[in-house]
Structure 1
Amino acid sequence: MRILLLEDNDINRQLLSEYLIYLGYQVLALPDGCNLFQALSDFQPQLILLDLKLPGIDGYTILEQIQQSSDWHQVPVIVVSAFAFKADQQRAINLGARRYFVKPVKLPQLKEAIQEELNRGRA
């Protein structure tokens, strides 16, 4: 199973990548969303982990673009963000995110959410 990770913080990106690889996933980790659709096309992820605060383009805009894409709107997006306000969470969910985790994320909960979303996609 392939997961696309969009996270601008180098340490967070590396740690989360290593954890997901340890769990057996193929991971493409990007520091921004600049080449998002090329990455989607080349990597064909089954799930996207998305930070909302990215350089150049924010996660909300990325969510909108994914939802408007006939090729990618069905790919589940899980937001992992430092934005803890309910309004941020609601906005992300309204834009198509399936789940929302506030950093620092509890890895067992994230692992479970990823497995549930991937299993849902196979059902």
Structure 2
Amino acid sequence: MMKRILVVEDNDLNRKLFCDVLAANGFSVEPVADGEMAIDRARAFVPNLVIMDIQLPNVSGLDLIARLKRDANLRNTPVLAVTAYAGKGDEERIREVGAQGYLAKPVSIGPFMAAVRNLIDRDSREAAA
């Protein structure tokens, strides 16, 4: 079965790049430009992984991760946080709210796909256990 990835990214170019690369690697992708819609789209799409931009207009990616982790149907979905504003302590703060992966922008395709596969594979292993 094709793995599903929700991409929450407000930057059109980044969202298109992430979605194109993921689709080319065999994933079913659901793009979301507006963070306010992310939780509802996640509930409808039921992703195997969420890629979450941290710097979103109107709502913080950190808040969205925390909301995902409080949702009974989504709490076990792994989250890969991606941010352009990586400062001291940011990775720790992002992981504390529930993200299992973290990448700083600009993101290279190799490390991006390695992080995606690691989280998808880990999710598959945990579901089988």
TM-score with structure 1 length normalisation?
Answer: 0.95
Which residue, out of 32, 35, 46, partners 2:48?
Answer: 46
Between the aligned partners of 2:95 and 2:47, the Cα distance in structure 1 is: 20
Give the C-alpha shift of residue 86 in structure 1. 2.8
Point out where structure 2 has 5 or more consecutive residues left out of the alignment. none
Aligned pairs, number:
123
Shift of the alpha carbon at 1:37? 2.4
Between 1:44-53 and 1:83-92, the stretch displaced more is: 83-92
Per the alignment, residue 61 of structure 1 pairs with: 63
1:53 maps to a residue whose letter is: Q
Say yes or no: does 1:115 pair with 2:108. Answer: no
**Dislocated runs of 4+, deviation >6 Å:** none
Matched AA of 1:28:
E
Cα separation, 1, equivalents of 2:15 and 2:123: 25
| DSSP 3-state at the match of 1:40 | helix
Structure 1 stretches lacking a partner, 5+ long? none
Pairwise CA RMSD = 1.0
**Aligned partner letter, 2:93:** R
Among 24, 30, 33, the residue aligned to 1:31: 33
The share of aligned pairs that are identical, in percent, is: 31
